[in-house]
Structure 1
C-alpha cells in the first residue's frame, strides 16, 4: 500500500526572497483563520469531493444515492480517482449535511458567472429600468413514500410534495438572481413574495403572473419604486380616470382598482386591452407614460416572463430533478442546489453563445447543450469552442419556436399622455385580506352555482331526437 512509483527528476525553480516572504505571509494568515482539527480518524472523502460527485450524478442523470456511492468509491469521474471503499450509510449521513456546502458553491459560481456575463447584458430590454427580473414559484413533484410518516398518506396528498422553489430570474443576464427552497408546498405564493423583493434595486422592472395579483401587492411594489407588468386577473373592478388610446379594438387606460369600499387600491395603474388571433389580452403596469413604455413593448416584455418557466423546465426535465433521490428534506436540498448550480452554468453558457453568434438566447437549444456538455467535458473539449465551429450544423443554434406576439399598430399622434393630477394616489384605501379558506369556499360556491345552471339548462333544452 505504501509503494511509490519512481518519477523522472524535475528541475525546481529557485524563488527570489520577495516571493518567499509573500508566501510565508499568506500561509500565516491562513493558519490564523483555520479552526482546530477534530480528534479521530482523518476523513477519506472531503466535502469538495462529495459535492463534485453530486454534481456529476445530476449531470449524468443518475437516480439514487447508491449511484453516488458507486461513482465515488469504485468508478471515479472527471479524472478524479475513486476513494477508499466507504460504507453506504457513511455517504448517506454526510449527504444530509452537505446542503450548506452546495449553497456556498452555488453562490460562488453565481458571482463568477455574473462578472463574466456583464459585458453581454441585453440593454435593449426595457432601457428605462436598472434590472429586468421575473418572479415565479415552482412546486416540486411528489416523493416516494419511503419514510414511515409518509406511508399512511394517500396518493395526491399535498404533504407528499417535496417542496417549492421561489425564484427571481435576471432576464438580461439569463441567470438566477435569488432562489429560496421552501419545504411547505401548499402555501400561497404571495406569502413569501415580500421577502423575495427586499434586496431589489429601485427602478427594477418586475414581471410576474396573475397568481400574485392583489391590490396590496401592487401598491407595495409602487411604494418601493419598482416597475412591474402583469396580467389582469380576478375580474377586479376598476374606475377609468383617463383614456390614453381607444380605437380598433385597442384600449389603453389609466384606472383605479377597487370600486367598492371593502377593497380599494391606492395608486392609479395602466390597463391595456387588445385582441390578437381571436384572443383577448389584458395587461396591467404602473408605467403610466406611453412614451416610455409603448403598447408593443408591454406585450414583448411580458412574453419574456416565459424565460423563468423555461428555467424551471431545465431543472425538472433536462436535469431530471423530478426524480428525487430521497424523501428527506436535507437530501432534497442538496440535489436541488446541485441542479441549480448546473442550471446557472448552462444558462450562462447559452447566453454567451447567443451573444457571440448574434442570435437570441432562446435560439440556442438548452436541451442539446445539457446533453452534449457532459460528453465534451469527458473528452476534454471546451463547449464554447465546439459550438463556435459547428453549432449551427449540429442544431445547437436554430430558430426558436416561441410565439412572437404582433400587437395592433397604434398611431402615436392619437396617444394622449395622462396629466399629473390623474396620477395622484387615492386617499381612502382598504385591502380585503381574504384567507385561503375563504377563497376556497368562494371557488366552491361558484362551481356549485355554475353546475346548477348547467343542469337547469340541460333540463329545459329542446330534445335533439324527434322520438323524444
Structure 2
C-alpha cells in the first residue's frame, strides 16, 4: 500500500453507527417512553494505521449519514481519499469532492443508470470504465466517475470512485482498498463490546457524548499500543489482535506488582504466544487471497 499512501494526502474510512438504548432508571416514566436510543456516531479512521481521525455525535439516532457530508468535506484534506459505504452516496457529494480536489471510493448502487464513456481495461473477470451518471436525472452527476466491476464467484461487484487515473489507483487497488472498509466495522465492534460502549451509563445527551468521546480516546491509545506491538513483532497491524492486547494488560499489571522494572512492549513481545496477540491466518483468508490472485492474474494476460 506504499504507492497508494504516497498518492493521496490521506486515506480514511468513514462510517456511522447507532448507539444502544439509554439505560434510564426512571420507573414508570421508562415504562411509558420505552427504550430510547442513545444517538448516532460517525467515526473516521486511517485506512492503514487504523488510528481514529475524527468522531461526530448526534442525539438523533435516525439521522441520515448524508447530513454529515459537510463535516466530512471540511475535514478531508485536498488530495485525500475517503472510503465510505452507500449510505453516503449522492451525485452532489461526488461533484463537490471532485471540484475540491478530493477523492471518494464507495459501492455503486444497483439501480443507477449510467453511460459508459470509455473502457480503460477489461478481462473475463473485471471491467474498468469511465462513466457518466444521472443522464435522466433532474440533477445529474456533472463530473465523470470511474466504475470498477469484479466477478467474485458468481456475483459481480461494482465500485465507484472519482479517481479516474488507473496509474494513481489501479483496478485491483480499488477493489482491495474497499475491502479494507471492514476495519471500521471492527472498530465499532471493539468499542461497543470490548470497551463497554454498548452500555450507556447516563441518559443526558452531554453525558452520552462524554462516554462516546472518552471511549474512542481510549481506543486510540489502545490502537497505538497495537501498532508498537506490530512493529516489535515485525507483523502487519492487521495481524495483531486488539482484543487480546487489551486483555493482556490485566496480566501485565499483575506481573508489574512483582517486578516494577518491567516494560510493557517487551513483556508483550515475550509472552505474545501465550497471550495470542498474533491472529492466525484462517482458511477463508487463504481462499480469498487465491481468488484475488486468479482474478488479477487474468488481467495481466
Task: Give the secondary structure class of the aligned counterpart of 2:33.
Answer: coil
Instruction: Note the alpha carbon deviations across 1:317-367, whole angstroms, 9 max, x for none.
Output: 111211121222222222222211210111111122112322111211111
**Selected match of 1:409 from 284, 296, 299:** 296
- Residues 164 and 182 in structure 1, CA contact (< 8 A), matched pair in contact too: yes
More strand by proportion, 1 or 2? Answer: 2
Distance 1:140 1:311 in 2: 14
**Mean Cα deviation higher: 323-332 or 221-230:** 323-332
- CA shift for structure 1 position 256: 0.6
Task: Give the secondary structure class of the aligned counterpart of 1:192.
Answer: helix
Name the counterpart of 2:219. 343
Name the counterpart of 2:10. 131
**Selected match of 1:363 from 215, 226, 239:** 239
Q: 1:389 to 1:378 in 2, by over 3 A?
A: closer
Task: Give the secondary structure class of the aligned counterpart of 1:134.
Answer: strand
Q: 1:219 to 1:163 in 2, by over 3 A?
A: same
- Residues 392 and 398 in structure 1, CA contact (< 8 A), matched pair in contact too: no
- Equivalent positions of 1:37-56 (< 5 A) are none
Asked whether 1:153 is paired with 2:26, we answer: no
Asked whether 1:382 is paired with 2:263, we answer: yes
Task: Give the secondary structure class of the aligned counterpart of 1:310.
Answer: helix
* TM-score, normalised via structure 1 length: 0.58
Gaps of 5+ in 1: 1-121, 415-468
**Selected match of 1:334 from 181, 188, 210:** 210
- CA shift for structure 1 position 200: 2.2
- Residues 123 and 172 in structure 1, CA contact (< 8 A), matched pair in contact too: no
Distance 1:154 1:143 in 2: 10
- Residues 161 and 185 in structure 1, CA contact (< 8 A), matched pair in contact too: yes
Looking at CA atoms only, which structure, 1 or 2, has the larger radius of gyration? 1
Distance 2:44 2:191 in 1: 15
**Selected match of 2:195 from 298, 319, 340:** 319
Instruction: Note the alpha carbon deviations across 1:359-416, whole angstroms, 9 max, x for none.
Output: 11121111111112144235434331112222134311133548445431266778xx
Q: 1:390 to 1:376 in 2, by over 3 A?
A: closer
- CA shift for structure 1 position 287: 1.3
Name the counterpart of 2:157. 281
What is the root-mean-square deviation in Å for CA atoms of aligned residues?
2.3
Asked whether 1:398 is paired with 2:285, we answer: no
Distance 2:162 2:82 in 1: 11
